[in-house]
Structure 1
Amino acid sequence: MADSSFFTYTNKDFINDVCSGQQTRSRFDIALRSRWTEKRNAGLFRYHLDDLETRVLPGPCGYIAQLNIMRGIERRKPQEILSVRQNFDPKQFNFNKINPKELLFELLKESESSCEAICHQNGSKRKCKVIINVSPLEFGHCLLVPEPDTCHPQILTPLAVQMGIETVLLSADPGFRVGFNSLGGFASVNHLHLHGYYLNHQLRIETSPVEPILPKKNLYRLLDFPVGFLFYTQGPNLDLTVNAVCGLTDAMVDRNIAHNIFITRGCPPQRERDPSSSRYGVRVIVWPRLSCFGAKEESAFNVALCELAGHLPFKNREDYETVTEEGVQDIIRKYLLPQEEFSELQKHVMKCL
């Protein structure tokens, strides 16, 4: 990275031989971790993130609970959201208004797939800014903001999905995760962004069993709780998966169905339940869910991308110390799309993709 404000890459930078538990770092990991640490040391976060107190909840799901009291106290007040399709409002906070020092770097791909041309019609390269999350969940917590000047609302675009998958492929660390909260799915800011962070604990969804829905479109159904859609790809050509993911999310936006997405290294659909297997590919899990509109209640246990994936950040010690696997599932269940609606959505998606 000759210019520290840019990270330029090609498909050749994707890491294929990733194994659960390995500690090697790629060029991307080194750039992200070093720049993020610099920002932390410069005091740009709302609080100093130490090693978080962590425990694995007893039970087959292996939920990862973490105590992060300061995030609950110091994070920016979430915007009021009234619809999954809410328009971008330039008067509200957005990522064009951040302190320029919060920028880690811009992602620039030297050659892109056919679904995302290198240039706009005006000839300028498409960019994705990577900025710090000033209220971090975990080490390296950053935001991927594709084409911030375009002022997209919080609705996924092909470029956003592609950048999300590609950053996971750029990392040699199986603990690097990317996620997305839609409007109504506990997104805090209505300006297109994804979350990225490191979680040094294995999650059940990396190896959860699936059943095929449309294998030719890399689409499966996640069988473990909570049930969701799962896409799998090993790259480097991501067009098929990107278009299929966007086909699903577009269908949900059209129906005003909120959703959360988690992108992580995982084993192929044919090799589930093998925690020691290599993580050659990427699992993209999409959960349709009941919408939560209006301003977020900060004291609530918010069910969003982390919680659905099995990573549970807690804002107070009592909940952190007393929560059980059954209690977690009872809370999550309240936000899931009813089975009948999920099945109807699945039938619709099978016709559309």
Structure 2
Amino acid sequence: MYYAIICIFNNITKVWSSQDFFLMINKRLFSKTNPLEFGHCLLVPEPDRCHPQVLTPLAVQMGIETVLLSADPGFRVGFNTLGGFASVNHLHLHCYYLNHQLRIKTSPAEPILPKKNLCGLLDFPGGFLFYTRGPHLDLTVNAVCSLADIMLDGNIAHNLFITRGCPPRRERDPSVSRNGVRVIVWPRLSCFGAKEELAFNVALCELAGHLPFKNRDDYETVTEDEVQEIIRKYLLPQEEFREIKVSEYLINKKIT
């Protein structure tokens, strides 16, 4: 059966008013009734324009700016497409606080398209890395959206994670400043329908190394090898991943 990652729109502006945390210009912040972590909210760009769950330049810019504006290094922002464990088809990003170090903040990377701030992660699970220190975000925002467009055209689900982190380097160096922002994008295999009863789902936070387990038994008994095996089931095959890296659209598109 064929599933598309662009589908019928779901209107989440109809959520209970008690979940409407506060209104900003052209955006809303909704509290989560089943939070992943402390302060878990949904950041909804231009809610009244009824965007589907597809990354837009405004959404990416809001995600990066929110992390840059936060004084807490544990503040994270993320995004799931349909097929990547998004629950509803109305444009939204997740934001929450995680008071633990994540390896993804210092994971080594190699350049793919330096002029577009695009690198490839060298650690498992492999993904695309963009880095910026601000305040000018157009280059990074447009490059992220160009990558998202390629995956949308190929009906490839993906997850995005934004966190404070260090500049891309081939070798891990914990002493390097982590004041910049890392934007990581993982192309992945789609998963539709009921969520499988595994130890954990594989979405934005799990790919980043934050594993919210569904029950205590799995939390206490699962091994690192088992975690990697679960995640590997959802990773895009290497050949398809390489095709995205060498896409003529990504290489040749002009970024202003």
TM-score class normalised by the smaller sequence: over 0.9
Structure 1 residue 282 corresponds to structure 2 residue 199: no
Which of 61, 74, 83 matches 1:184?
A: 83
Task: Give the whole-Å Cα distance in 2 for the aligned partners of 1:278 and 1:232.
Answer: 13
Measured after TM superposition, the shift of residue 98 of structure 1 is 1.2
Q: Which residue of 2 aligns with 1:310?
A: 209
Which of 311, 324, 328 matches 2:227?
A: 328
Which of 144, 150, 173 matches 1:245?
A: 144
Task: Give the whole-Å Cα distance in 1 for the aligned partners of 2:140 and 2:243.
Answer: 22
Measured after TM superposition, the shift of residue 105 of structure 1 is 1.9
Measured after TM superposition, the shift of residue 197 of structure 1 is 0.4
Q: Which residue of 2 aligns with 1:12?
A: none
Structure 1 unaligned regions, length at least 5: 1-80, 109-126
Which of 20, 42, 46 matches 1:103?
A: 20
Which of 54, 66, 72 matches 1:155?
A: 54
Measured after TM superposition, the shift of residue 300 of structure 1 is 6.0
Structure 1 residue 196 corresponds to structure 2 residue 95: yes
Measured after TM superposition, the shift of residue 293 of structure 1 is 1.8
Measured after TM superposition, the shift of residue 203 of structure 1 is 0.4
- Residues 230-265 of structure 1: CA deviation (Å, up to 9, x unaligned): 000111011010000000001101110000000000
Q: Which residue of 1 aligns with 2:6?
A: 85
Measured after TM superposition, the shift of residue 345 of structure 1 is 1.0
Greater radius of gyration (CA): 1
- Residues 126-176 of structure 1: CA deviation (Å, up to 9, x unaligned): x11111011101000010000111111110111100000010001011100
- Residues 302-328 of structure 1: CA deviation (Å, up to 9, x unaligned): 100011000000111111100111110
% of aligned pairs identical?
75
Measured after TM superposition, the shift of residue 104 of structure 1 is 1.8
- Which structure ranks higher in relative contact order (CA pairs < 8 Å, sequence separation ≥ 6)? 1
Change (3 A) 1:322 1:291: same
Q: What's the RMSD between the two structures over aligned residues? A: 1.6
Change (3 A) 1:169 1:271: farther
Q: Which residue of 1 aligns with 2:35?
A: 136
Task: Give the whole-Å Cα distance in 2 for the aligned partners of 1:193 and 1:329.
Answer: 28
TM-score (norm 1): 0.68
Change (3 A) 1:202 1:271: farther
Measured after TM superposition, the shift of residue 272 of structure 1 is 5.4
Q: Which residue of 1 aligns with 2:132?
A: 233
Measured after TM superposition, the shift of residue 295 of structure 1 is 3.2
TM-score (norm 2): 0.93
Task: Give the whole-Å Cα distance in 2 for the aligned partners of 1:131 and 1:173.
Answer: 20
Structure 2 unaligned regions, length at least 5: none
Pairs aligned (count): 251
